Amino acid sequence: MANAAAPLLTQEGVDDDTTLRLLATGLVQLADTLPPVRVPYSDPLQRGLNRLAWRSVRTNSPLVEGLADFLVWARRPIASWPISLNLGERDAIGPDDALLGGPDGDRPTDVCEELTLKPSPDAEAESVEKRLILDVLNLCRRPGGERTYTAYRRLLITQPVLTEDGLFTACEQPELQLLANHLRLDYQLAPLALAVDGQFALCPKCQNLVYRSSIQGVFLCDDSACAGAQGIIPITFLPVRAQVYWLRRELRRFVARPGRAEIALEERLQALGVDVELWPAVDAYDLRITFPRTGEVWAVDVKDWANAYYLANAVTPFRREPRWTRAFFVFPEARRDRQDRYLTIFTRRCQQRMARAAGGPLNLLDDRCQALFVEDFVRQVERQLAPPQGRRRANA
Ligand SMILES: [Zn+2]
C-alpha cells in the first residue's frame, strides 16, 4: 500500500483547507516562473496534487491526471470541482471562487493569493500586511522612525516598479536610507516573460507591470479594477536593459493594492474637510480621522480581499493607541458588487471567532467598531460633519 501521499496524512486524514493552500501557493509560484515548469513541480504544488489525488481515491471521485488536467480544474469554481472537499467552514469558499482567472484563465485570482497567506490563529498576532513588513515596523518604531515609515509605505504604493537607477535613488533619500537594505529585498528583478519587444509596459492606473494576453493580444493588469477584458493602453515603457525591478508579489497584493484605496480615501476625506493622518504611530491602523468641530477621532483599516471569510480570519482587533472613539473596517465597493453576502460572511465569521476566542475577549466588532463599504463609510463621515439641528455655533 505504498502511497506517495502517506507521510502527509494525520490520523484524521487529509485536511483539504491545507490542500487548497498548497495548490494556491503552487499556482502563484507557477505564475511567476514562465515559461512553463517541468516535472518535478514546486514542492507546494506537488504536495497539493498528492493530497488532491488522495482525496479523489478516498471519495471515489475523478482523479486529476497531472498538472495540465489540474489547470483545467483551477479555472473552474472550486465549488464545482468533481470532488467533495472536506472544508472546515461553510462560508470558506464562495460559489464563484476559482484559483485561476483573467481573460486567458492563467492568472492567480485574488482568492488564490489570499489562500497563500495562512491566517494566524493567534488573535493578538500582527495582521497579514503587518507581518509582511514586520522588520520594517520594528526599525521604524524607534524614535523618529514615523516619517521613514510613511515615506516607505508611499513608495511601495505609488512606485511598485523601479529601474535600477530609480531604486538606487529611492534608497539614497534621507528618510529612506534606514530601510535601504529592505528595499533591495522588497523589489525583485522583473520577470523577463512580461517584456514585449525588449520593453516592460506599466499600467497607467496602478503603475504595476502589465502582461500581454496570449489570446487577445491586448495588455492586461493583474488588478481587475484597472481595466476589464478590453485591455489597457500603457503610456510608460521601460527598456529591459534599464534593469527593471518590481515589488514582490505579496507586497503588491497586501500592501500596495489596499494602499491605493487608503490614499484615495485620504484624499476624499480631506476634500470633505476632516483632518486625516495615514498609518499613525507607525501603522497602528490605516487612517486616523479627526473631526474639526468636535475633535472626535475615528480609526479606519481599509481591507481589500476577495474572500470575506479569509479576511475575517486574518483581521485583528484595532490598536487602542493612538486613541479613537469609533473604528471601522472599510471595504472597497467593488467587493460588494462581486459578492452580495460579503458583509454577512465577514460579520458572521468575526462573531464566531469572538465567541470562540480563548485567552480573553477578542474585540473585532462591537458598538464602537463596525465593518462597512466605503460609500457607506463616507456617508457616515458626512453626517458627522453636518452641524447639529438647530445649533450651528462652533466650539460647542
Ligand atoms: Zn493596474
Q: What is the pLDDT of residue 58?
A: 84
Q: What is the pLDDT of residue 366?
A: 93
Q: What is the pLDDT of residue 35?
A: 53
CA distance 275 to 45: 48
* Separation of CA 233 and ligand 1 centre (Å): 11
Q: What is the pLDDT of residue 37?
A: 52
On the question of pLDDT at 125 being above 80, the answer is: no
CA distance 132 to 137: 10
* Separation of CA 382 and ligand 1 centre (Å): 30
* Separation of CA 294 and ligand 1 centre (Å): 39
On the question of pLDDT at 169 being above 80, the answer is: yes
pLDDT of 248-285, one tens digit each?
A: 998 998 899 999 999 999 999 999 999 999 999 999 99
Label residue 88 by pLDDT band (50, 70, 90): low
> Can you list the domains of the chain with their CATH numbers?
13-115 (no CATH), 145-248 (no CATH), 252-384 (3.40.1350)
pLDDT of 328-376, one tens digit each?
A: 999 999 888 777 789 999 999 999 999 988 778 888 999 999 999 999 9
Give how far the C-alpha of residue 339 lies from the chain's centroid of Cα atoms, to the nearest Å: 17
Phi, psi of 151 (to 5 degrees): -65, -40
* Separation of CA 326 and ligand 1 centre (Å): 33
How many helices and strands in the chain, by DSSP H and E?
Answer: 16, 14
Helix ranges (DSSP H) in 255-358 = 257-272, 280-283, 308-314, 333-338, 342-356
Name which of 155, 161, 158, 152 is nearest 236 in CA terms. Answer: 161
Cell digits of residue 58: 478516498
* Separation of CA 129 and ligand 1 centre (Å): 20
* Separation of CA 225 and ligand 1 centre (Å): 7
CA distance 58 to 345: 31
* Separation of CA 122 and ligand 1 centre (Å): 34
Secondary element (H or E) of residue 218: none
From start to end of the chain, where are the E strands?
100-101, 107-108, 161-163, 187-189, 199-202, 211-212, 219-220, 236-239, 244-247, 275-278, 287-290, 297-302, 326-331, 369-373
* Separation of CA 341 and ligand 1 centre (Å): 26
* Separation of CA 204 and ligand 1 centre (Å): 7
Q: Kindly report the pTM of this predicted structure.
A: 0.84
pLDDT of 189-232, one tens digit each?
A: 998 888 999 999 999 999 999 988 877 788 888 887 787 667 88
The whole-chain average pLDDT of the chain stands at 86
Helix ranges (DSSP H) in 159-307 = 164-172, 180-186, 249-251, 257-272, 280-283
* Separation of CA 381 and ligand 1 centre (Å): 29
Cell digits of residue 230: 478590453
